[in-house]
Structure 1
């Protein structure tokens, strides 16, 4: 019998201990198969041999109805007794060569790999090995991988580099759920080669769900979208350009798009929740009102959870690093409800606590847009060109800001907005340069935070515009529908143009009078003024 060809896209690892109260294991399993699970690993750490075989046999019977292969965790005897497709073993289990001898040439063998050294040893055994499980990516409650050093997407990418060209398939495991899945898939792609994950292994996100079918479907859609994008990239075309229809785009079209979003925002008045720092909360609310949106500054975990279905967008600005639990819930619910999520990692490179907090938040949810100054974007990109000095940047700046934002957008699967005397915005394909703005913006507290608020406002408007023009969500690689590159441009352009107009007023004598004038000019700004003053360039 020839070895089967397995689709590793959504790899379910069973865990009966994670089932919600009243949910039957076999019922949950079948629902997950209906949702799109492509392979199942039966993992039973506490069952005796007889019970393990019973569970594995019934699991296989159900999976056979859906033509989904079953693998057994660790136990070669159970695999042989049940006749499953193969086994998955850890570093301290049976040696791969011996396992291959025992189970035969036609069975599948997978191996857990935690670092590049283990990946190199796996290559030495590649004749006996079919795939590796890479992890843990993030912290997880699974007893198999709890407590391991986490790799993050970058660490996964390093292991993918090692196995490039050796014919070994790969899945990632550990703390993977819907909000951070795009970050993992995109962020683990190495700039050195095109090797990507073949799938993701998930336990609690499906098993612990009251609706495993829907959970599996959502995961499968993201993985399938990424694989379609991967095929496009192999053809040397920009996946972002194709998905977003940006071929032949020019500056005039961008300005028209901004004008359209200004109109939508005024007509629809979306609610925008802003978990922002205490220093700028009042000003952020005022600029939100000035452009036509409605602000709410809710931070409590229960409150942001209940508010999420009603809001148009969510901004998370951790300038004073308060309400971390609320930020976790707010971001996760924004992803679940497909609402634009703007992340402003204020001073992220200044302290280890801020870096750790950012990593923790990004493991819980996927931002739609990341906005920061040179120091913040430099820290996110792990660049040494710009250093952080509190909330400010130090150093001579990026030699090529456009390349930095473009690379980070691809890595993070998000729109990147780099603010400063000149602003740069990228979706990973296009880079837009905005040269508007007043020197007074550097003299008032929270100008960058206010820009983030406006980006969130226009992200909400863009989503509304999409919903008004389409009957349903289309399937693409993003959780949020709407033109988020255009929304980011709108927020930056409108803010900087208004700052120019405010600075030219006769009653503006310095930063204090400028602050009040800026809110006035945001309120009075017209599309005609934006078009006349816009200094926008596609690089």
Structure 2
């Protein structure tokens, strides 16, 4: 048999078959249309029935020259001469499995922690062929799972440790809650920090096993996995010339849907109007689908007021489904355990055009730390550390990242939207290009409420007026314009009260 191809790994489950379908008929349609490896996983089936199913499945898999992996049951894998065995952390120990099946069989292992990578590295080559990395998202196929969903960031941690441990013999498949609406971004975001390793495939159950047309469902999945590049946002630009993004804002008058903190709402609405955009504030889930379908709409998601996480995730998924851009401001990222949990769940929920925050927030999102005093940054980190943290955020979430401060840092993590399945993106986080935006010190930014939040409003307007390949340029222009307006307002105001008014005026004048 040819070397295993892990691109589209189907795990069976006969409990979710549509009426009139059988496990074998669904498997046949999957194999005919592009499934590259199969795991027979029938937890509640008696041994006699399992053997009968396994023999039928093996006959089909052999016909398509596709490996058949048996879940847990080493005895059945050996009895039918399957291609291999997959076991979990609580099953037969891997060294014993390898001893039982011999050196030629494929052995797979479920991995969810970096410590488990350390273990397989200690075993060395010849013990495990591939790992199932997850659970990525919540899934209904393992109702007894004790694993907390790790998101693409968690998959990346596993890939990074594989690289650090030089485990180049291990193949990887992401598993858990993967569907056509999130596979592209999982492939896009899941990669080692050195940029040299991505997942080798995705593993799923329901989109084929529960499908009324398993063949068509498989073809859709293969098309997604074959994409050469990923485009998550519909271009809204009236003029594709990146020098004209400011003019595009005026022409298109983007609708900025704010889900933001209460302090920011009025000021943010005035900022949006000043730069030529139309603001709306809504946390009504029933409105989200209508709002995201409005031409040139953008979501600004600000977690300053801790809203219901279900509402926030619904907003992210709805805007992603229509390929509308989202700007995320993870306010007070780790200021409390509640904020930390909420922000991590939101970050895992979708693809963002831009993530912006102050030093403490960006340091927290990056994983380098980050001291918070309430929602304000209290860290005293060097420019070099801030750049590193911003690069990490941009890389991990394949986004444009902004770290605000006396010197603002904007990093492009989109890597030209390259398709990294089985190859990596080719650049490390430290390789990402960035812009430093300097200006005169504007101390009054720190003496008013919602100044950072309102930068998010300006960024959202500019991002919506760009296309997905010029978002970095749009963000740089937005931050530059906001800094210019602040510098001018600082020179004319009499204090923090008049600074607010002068900032709005100067945003209006600078945007014209």
TM-score between the two structures when normalised by the length of structure 2: 0.80
Q: Within 5 A, what are the aligned runs for 1:124-143?
A: 124=123, 126-143=125-142
Task: Report the Cα distance in structure 1 between the residues aligned to 2:116 and 2:265, rounded to whole angstroms.
Answer: 49
Aligned runs of 1:374-385 on 2, under 5 Å?
374-384=359-369
User: Alpha carbons of 1:439 and 1:213: their partners in 2 closer, same or farther (altered >3 Å)?
Assistant: farther
Q: Which sections of structure 2, spanning at least 5 residues, go unmatched? A: 231-239, 414-431
CA contact (8 A) 2:114 2:158 kept: no
| 1:431 Cα deviation from its structure 2 partner | 0.7
Structure 1 position 355, deviation (Å):
0.8
Superposed CA deviations along residues 501-521 of structure 1, whole A, max 9, x for unmatched, are 33444xx32222222232233
CA 1:11–1:487 in 2, change beyond 3 Å: closer, same or farther? farther
Q: Do the aligned partners of residues 179 and 354 (structure 1) sit closer, same or farther apart at CA in structure 2, a change above 3 Å counting?
A: farther
Post-superposition shift, 1:277?
A: 1.0
2:2/2:65 contact within 8 Å kept: no
2:472 aligns with: 485
**Aligned-residue offset at 1:102:** 5.3
CA–CA distance in 1 between the matches of 2:215 and 2:472? 32
Give the Cα separation in 2 of the matches to 1:208 and 1:279. 46
Map of 2:439 onto structure 1: 436
Q: What corresponds to 2:482 in structure 1?
A: 495
Q: Distance in 2 between matches of 1:211 and 1:446?
A: 51
Contact in 2 for aligned 1:96/1:125 (Cα 8 Å): no
Give, in whole Å, the separation in 1 of the partners of 2:39 and 2:205.
10
- Cross-structure match for 1:147: 146
CA RMSD of aligned residues (A): 3.6
Of 97-106 and 334-343, more deviation after overlay is shown by 97-106
Give the TM-score normalised by structure 1. 0.76
Residues 497 and 135 of structure 1: CA distance in aligned 2, closer, same or farther (over 3 Å): same
Partner of 2:378: 394
Decide which of 167, 170, 173 is 2:172's aligned counterpart. 170
Within a 5 Å distance, the mapping from 1:398-417 to structure 2 comes to: 398-400=382-384, 401-417=386-402
What is the aligned length? 477
**SS of alignment partner, residue 143 of structure 1:** coil
Structure 2 matches for 1:113-124, cutoff 5 A? 113-123=111-121, 124=123
Q: Determine the structure 2 residue equivalent to 1:90.
A: 88
The runs of 5 or more residues in structure 1 that have no matched partner are 230-255, 464-480, 528-539
Give the drift of 1:266.
1.4
Q: Structure 1's 387 and 216: CA in aligned 2 closer, same or farther, altered over 3 A?
A: farther
SS at match of 2:262: coil
Give how far 1:338 is off: 1.9
Aligned partner of 1:521 in structure 2 is 506
Once the 2 structures are TM-superposed, how far is the Cα of residue 46 of structure 1 from its aligned partner? 1.7
Q: Describe the superposition over 1:211-231 as per-residue Cα deviations: whole angstroms up to 9, x where unpaired.
A: 8778767766676669x99xx
- Give SS of 1:4's match: coil
CA 1:187–1:169 in 2, change beyond 3 Å: closer, same or farther? closer
The equivalent residue for 1:9 is 7
Structure 1 pair 404–75 and aligned structure 2 pair: CA distance change class (3 A): same
Give the structure 1 partner of residue 275 of structure 2: 291
Q: Give the structure 1 partner of residue 291 of structure 2.
A: 307
The structure, 1 or 2, with the larger RCO (C-alpha pairs under 8 Å, 6+ apart) is 2
Are residues 1:49 and 2:47 paired? yes
